[in-house]
Amino acid sequence: MSDFGTMALVHRTDNSDVSDSDEVALNTAIKQLHVVERDRIGPYVGFSFRIGGSYGQNGGQGFCVNFTEYWLGDEEGTGGLDSEVILARDEPLAQQCCDELARILGDTYSVDLICDHW
């Protein structure tokens, strides 16, 4: 796992554990975010959308969806920029992606942005 970046935490609003059908719903939503008009690059082309597990503060297993990830000391991968500068740069687009993901998934799920070191 990387040292810092942006990700969405996706949990069921009833705090129950996610199931296989929830994973299908999440993958379907992510695919919708990738759909763009022909010959256009979508706004989230640089996001990895790598799915992992997450535990909610109120219980219930959910998902984390990595958007961007970076490693401290990787001057080439970070362009020599400070991690706080990178996070500030990535946060608006990551928040927009979280908002769209929440809209697609609906009220059954909460979607929260993490833009930080981990």
Task: Render each residue's pLDDT in the chain as its tens digit; 118 residues.
Answer: 689 999 999 999 999 999 999 999 999 999 999 876 666 778 998 999 999 999 988 778 999 999 999 998 887 777 778 899 999 999 999 999 999 999 999 999 999 999 999 8
Q: What is the pLDDT of residue 35?
A: 73
Type and span of the H or E element at 93: helix 83-105
Q: Which fold has domain 4-117?
A: Alpha-Beta Plaits (3.30.70)
* pTM (predicted TM-score): 0.90
Confidence (pLDDT) at 36: 67
Confidence at residue 113, expressed as pLDDT on a 0 to 100 scale: 98
Smallest Cα–Cα separation from 67: which of 43, 41, 48? 48
What is the reported pLDDT for 72?
Answer: 86
DSSP string, 15-75: -PPP-HHHHHHHHHHHHHHH---TT---TTTT---EEEEEE-TTS-EEEEEEEEEE-TT-H
Helix 83-105 / helix 20-34 crossing angle, nearest 10 deg: 110
Looking up tokens 């082309």, which residue turns up? 45
